[in-house]
Structure 1
């Protein structure tokens, strides 16, 4: 159920007794010469809407701009700093609790958002306001990603390329897949990104001239459909599991030696 498409009287009926919501989050940042800046938030919204459509849970509008300063050298990249992102997302989550939501899944498609989202989830849980967890699509299906791609790449690689081929193929410049591969880095292990155990890079451009990794020529719409359907199934399973949990079982354990609430 996509919240923004409903009227408030419709939502009053639809949300009666509803306790779970999904918030899709992504970024607006470079994804190489072949993919749109919208890549991450398109993937997040598509998965969130598909899973919420199957389960009937609330899906909010998408948070399109995330923690992306590490892509700032490339044209068009937009970002907010982590404290601003955390504050915004926490405020949004607390809005939902006002309407009776007490468990939230952050459907995330951007690595830079992970740590801030975990911090928001911890604060909400410590306050007993809600149980909120971060879910990353490719982390839910690692075996399939490994099976489909020899070099999936951590950013702008064939896994993301295939997903966008499936959800918005018209936005993929398929004539530039070879350019993306040849102008980027196929295997991150081949970069000089660590010295004596220390990470020596901060921005994507420090490792990849065109900002992407992996072999983009290995992407197809058919592989994108496989990824999308498998990830959606995993998200549906997570939503169904979370919806079944008693709220008290999701809250922090008491101090050792005290009785449970």
Structure 2
């Protein structure tokens, strides 16, 4: 069920029997010369929609702008200050709880949001309001993602390219894949941007001229479909597991 399309009597019926909400979150930021700036929120919305369709759980409207200051040098990137982002997410999460929701899955597709969503989850859990957990698709199937590509990348690489080729092929500039590879950073290692063990970079442009990593030419829509199905299965399993947990077991343990 999609909250924004439903009438309140139907939502009232849902809240009487269910207590889970799927909240998709992403970003609007550069993803290289070949992918749309909406890549992350498009991916998050697709996963939330698929999981909601399979389980019948509630899906909320998406959060399409996240914490992205590290991509600000590229035209079009939009970003929210971290405190404002955290407060906003916490506020609408608490709003959901007034209707009976006490379990929230943040279906997240943007790395810059992770720490802030974890912080919000801690806040609402510590006062016993709700259990909110952050989920990222590629972290749910890490071995399959890595095995799919010889040169994977954390941003704008073949994994995101393959998903958008599958989900929104009309938004992929297929004629720019080689340029994305050749003007970006193909080989990604733990040593990139580090000096004597310290991370000396803050922005993606410092490590990649075009802001993306990996070999985008390795991506195909077929691989994207396989990754989407596998990660969707994990999200569905997470939602069903969360639904089965006694609420008290999800809350903080008593002080020793």
Q: How much is the aligned-residue C-alpha RMSD, in angstroms?
A: 1.0
Post-superposition shift, 1:221?
A: 0.4
Map Cα deviations across residues 207-254 of structure 1 (whole Å, 9 max, x no partner).
000000000000000000001000000000000000000000000000
Residue of structure 2 equivalent to 1:87: 87
Structure 1 position 12, deviation (Å): 1.5
Q: Distance in 2 between the 1:194 and 1:58 partners?
A: 43
Q: Point out the more displaced range, 4-13 or 135-144.
A: 4-13
1:156 alignment partner in structure 2:
156
* TM-score, reference length from structure 1: 0.97
Note closer, same or farther for the CA distance 1:101–1:113 as it changes in structure 2 (3 Å cut). same
Structure 1 residues 51-200: aligned runs within 5 Å: 51-189=51-189, 192-200=192-200
Q: Is the 8 A contact 1:25 1:109 kept in 2?
A: yes
Partner of residue 241, structure 2: 241
- CA shift for structure 1 position 184: 0.1
**Distance in 1 of aligned mates of 2:192 and 2:243:** 45
Rounded to whole Å, the distance in 2 between the matches of 1:170 and 1:213 is 22
Aligned to 1:6: 6
CA shift for structure 1 position 15: 2.6
Q: 2 CA distance for matches of 1:97 and 1:192?
A: 43
- Output the TM-score relative to the length of structure 2: 0.98
Spell out, residue by residue over 1:126-168, the C-alpha distance to the aligned partner (whole angstroms, 9 max, x if none): 0100000000100000111111111110000000000001111
Give ranges in structure 2 of 5+ residues lacking alignment: none
Distance in 2, Cα, partners of 1:232 & 1:182: 32
Count of matched residue pairs: 256
1:162–1:223: 8 Å Cα contact kept in structure 2?
yes
Give 1:14 deviation, angstroms: 2.7
Secondary structure of 2:189's match?
Answer: helix
